[in-house]
Every structure is written in C-alpha cells, then in structure tokens.
Structure 1
C-alpha cells in the first residue's frame, strides 16, 4: 500500500507547519504547566521539513513496513514531535490536550511507542543513534529502501554510547541512516562548550567515517536541499549538524539556559497571545 502522505516542496506550507509546531508547543506546555519548551522550539523547522518534505509514511498504517523511521533521541523535546505527528494525521489534534494531564496519558513528558507514529521510547539520553542503527541494518537485511532519521541533542553527544553506535554504523556502511544534531549549544545547566567541549564537531563525525553537512537548522530551503542529498557519500551514514537557537520563536527563551525546563505562566501566555498569534486548540 502506498503512503497516504507524499513529500512536498511547498516552502510556504512547511513554514506554516513549523509555526504551528511552536504554537502547539507553547500552548501544550502552558496548559500542562510543565514540559521542556526550549528544546522543543529549536526543532520546529527540522521536523516540519522531515515530515512534510522528505519522509515516506502512512499515518493510517503507522506500521507500514516500507516507511521511513524517525527517532527523537532527545526525547525531552517531545512537544514538537507530538505537534508534527498530529499535523501529519497520526492522531486527532484534540489529543494534544492530554499532554502530561494524567498518569496514563498517551502524551507523557517523553515519547512512548503507545502513541501512533512514535518509533521508540526515548528520554534516557544516548540511545537513539544505536536504535536507529539497528533499524537501518534491519532494513538492509530485509531488502527495504527505508531510511532512518535520528535527531539527537548536542549535549546528548557527551554520552559515549552515541560514538559506539556511530563507529558501528560506519563499519556496516549504513548509508540509509541519517543523524541530525540539534546544535543549539545549550544543555541543562550551561552551554555545551563549558561542560564538555564538542568542537570541532563536524571533524569528529568525519573521523568516525560519516558524510557530514553543517546547515542553518531554521532555514527551510537549506534543510530541504540538504536532506534531498542523503546519503552525502555512498556507503557512509550521514550526519547533519543543524545550527539552531534554543527557545527559537519565544524571545524570552532564546539562548537562555533556564528555559531548558521552564514554561510560560498562564498570565505570560495571555500577555503574549496577540504578539505570537497564539490560539487555544479548541478555537482554531
């Protein structure tokens, strides 16, 4: 069965999708009074481009074997993932009201596979690339042309398991594996370079045997062009280092350490509604 969704090249639609991811993330986190808002806001364009312009999937048949897979290794950024999955049609948008609303919610603070469209439980950092590597290798063994896209946080790269997986993926020449590093340069508590220096990050990935591109993670045209070129090198997995701004789109949160785990108060939300064109889900 062919996928219901076919990739688009309409930059205007993709930009509207990214805007909706931000609005949904702000609204959901304010409603729940919790959530990792800053880490979600830096992902908007990346997810909008992947789900609207690049990936193959069928929201009516989430288990379609030939689908591309997506893993949000930085699971704390799940506000953005929930928004894009709802926009892609994996579930009714009204379900977004349940974010962190009860113990057994379908939309907890880190994604779980009980929600249609979620390929892996994530949140314990450092596992997404290894999971993606396994899926990419399985696709090859099964003779499928499915691709696996993994988004990892830059602070998350301090976990050694990522580099074990990167080395193994290169060894197996998994050019159907694409890792996107959300390089917003911030993590819980400080800037990444003050905690454990990552630079020169592109050179590190190259030395592990990966094809590498460095892009503006908020430039939709550049992201589209870059993802259409994967694999960058035949026989090598691809790494996209996406330079982003943590908290992008919410001025009070941009590049602010404290907004790793901070949300708007209801009063702040009401004050910003007109400026950011925010809408309640039931009043769209």
Structure 2
C-alpha cells in the first residue's frame, strides 16, 4: 500500500490496530487510537530512519513508553514497509514477535516496554549517548499522562535538563483517562506545564490530532538548544471511533465483530 500523507497513514493505522485487537482478543485499543496521529506525523514527516540500516548510529530514535498501546506502532511500521503487513496477522499469538506490549524483536522497534515509567529513562540514556558521540540524531519518546504518576519519569527529566539534552523530545499523550477513571481523579497532574518548566524543559501544548500543528511544534522543538523539550499533546482516548471516544471502558475492552465493522465504517467515512 502506498501511503501519501500522514493523515492517510493515521487512518489506515487505526483500522489495522482495531483488526489486530479484535483478532487476538486483546485490549488497550483506546490508548492506541489516541496516539495514531502523533505516530503518523513522526514516521511520515519527522523521523530520519533508514529501513535498510536499522542499526545506523545516526538514526533518529523513537521509544513508546506506554507499551500497551503497541498496536498503533506495529500498524504504522507495517504501513511504512518496515516489514510485510501480513506479519501483523500473528499479533498476540504464542511465540509471535508481535507481543501484546511493544517488543524490540519487531523491526523498527528500539526498546521493549510494558512496565510504565521505563521508556523515558531509557530514551534519556540514548540521548546522552548521542551527545557524547557528537551525533546529530534526535530521540523521541511518547509517555502516557497516567504514566507520569511514576517517579522515574521526573528523575529522568531532571537528568535530561542537567545534561542539557536538547536532542530529547518527550511527547505526553494527554487523553485524561487512565486504567479505571480520569487522570484528575487518580492523581491530579495540573499545573502540568509549570511542573515540566520547573524541571528545566521547554514546554509546548498542541492538539494531538491536528497534523499541521503537530508537525509545526515538533519541528520547532528540535531547533531549541540547551534544554530537553516536552510537548503536551491533548488527545482523545479512542479517537476516531465515536462509541470509544473518552470512554475508559476501552482501556481494557475488546470490540465485537459488529463493533469492529461500525468502527471501520466510521474511520473510512471520516
């Protein structure tokens, strides 16, 4: 399939993500749909990665810290020809490389995550390594808003600020739902911008579903010097499927075949 825009990539990735989850009777589809636009802008317009040399030391690096949202990454990588799309049929099967939390065994995936709060510390280490080597590459990491309850993220950000890691871009998927209820009711994060700024980061807010805004902010962020950047992307859990949007249920639930068809139709007609 020839992908001609980040918008088309997001649309196809949403449909593939839904099909993978339904076929494997898996969960976390709401989380995957909320980051589909961010991933599509990154992989279509931003990331510099040679698919034929995935170990190139000068490649840009992307880390999905909220590893439970892996189907959207697998879908985007497949659509961008990192591997044959047919390999996605094995998602969630025993002995499949396409595990239910993101796996580095999949071509194009840098790091396996699942336990929350691990991706940003790892990304920070990669960014420091690039600085030491005088590499010009960039390191991007998506963290969940609920994931920010983990203290390891804040330790990593202090470290990144101390070492002036301006090659590190943290994108927060701020859909305001986690696990069983809202972020606000679980552990209120606000004022989040002030918190990140106090930890020494450049901070931006953006509509996490607006591709033009995402592209402009991400491009702007990688031009700043002397500080890591945090982009707070305001998103909608389950984005693109009306019966899933802003419903905490879809953190865990699997659509039925009838619900899958409704979702596919909505995405096709959007």
2:66 corresponds to 1:77: no
Q: Distance in 2 between matches of 1:103 and 1:55?
A: 31
Q: Of the candidates 211, 228, 238, which is equivalent to residue 229 of structure 2?
A: 238
Q: What CA distance in whole angstroms lies between the structure 2 residues aligned with 1:233 and 1:67?
A: 19
- 8 Å CA contact retained: 1:211, 1:232: no
Larger displacement relative to structure 2 (29-38 or 132-141)? 29-38
- Equivalent position of 1:3 in the other structure: none
Alignment pair present for 1:256 and 2:247: yes
8 Å CA contact retained: 2:7, 2:211: yes
Q: CA deviation at 1:33?
A: 1.3
* Structure 1: runs of 5+ lacking an equivalent: 1-9, 279-284
Contact residue 15 and residue 264 of structure 2 kept, 8 A: no
| C-alpha displacement of 1:60 | 1.6
Residues 5-84 of structure 1: matches in 2 within 5 Å?
13-84=5-76
Equivalents in 2 of 1:260, 1:140: separation in Å?
A: 37
Question: TM-score, with normalisation over the residues of structure 1?
Answer: 0.91
Query: How do 1:1-284 residues align onto structure 2 when only pairs under 5 Å count?
Result: 13-100=5-92, 102-231=93-222, 233-277=224-268
Find the aligned partners of 2:262 and 2:238 in 1 and give their Cα distance.
18
Following superposition, the deviation at residue 232 of structure 1 comes to 6.0
1:147-188 per-residue CA deviation (whole Å, 9 max, x = no partner) reads: 000000000000000000000100000000000000000000
Structure 1 residues 68 and 273 mapped into 2: Cα distance closer, same or farther (>3 Å)?
Answer: closer
The offset of 1:24, in angstroms, is 0.7
RMSD over aligned Cα atoms: 1.5
Change (3 A) 1:275 1:196: closer
Deviations 1:9-37 (A, max 9, x none): x9x71100010111111111111111310
Shift of residue 62, structure 1, vs aligned partner: 1.1
Q: Note the C-alpha offset of 1:272.
A: 4.6
Does structure 2 retain, via aligned residues, the 8 Å contact 1:35–1:79?
no
Distance 1:159 1:273, change over 3 A: closer
**Structure 1 residue ranges, 4+ long, deviating more than 6 angstroms after superposition:** none
Structure 2 match to 1:282 = none
Give unmatched runs, 5+ long, in structure 2: none
Spell out, residue by residue over 1:37-86, the C-alpha distance to the aligned partner (whole angstroms, 9 max, x if none).
00000001100000001110011221111100000000000010001111
109 and 170 in structure 1: CA distance in 2 versus 1, 3 angstrom threshold = same
Q: Deviations over 1:192-240 (max 9, x none)?
A: 0001010111110000000000000000000010011123641000000
Distance in 1, matches of 2:264 and 2:206, equals 31
Q: Secondary structure at the match of 2:220?
A: coil
CA-CA distance at 1:271 after TM superposition: 4.6
Cα separation, 1, equivalents of 2:204 and 2:29? 27
Measured after TM superposition, the shift of residue 108 of structure 1 is 0.7
Give the alignment's TM-score, normalised by structure 2: 0.96
* TM-fit CA distance, 1:273: 4.3
Partners of 2:63 and 2:141 within 8 A in 1 = yes
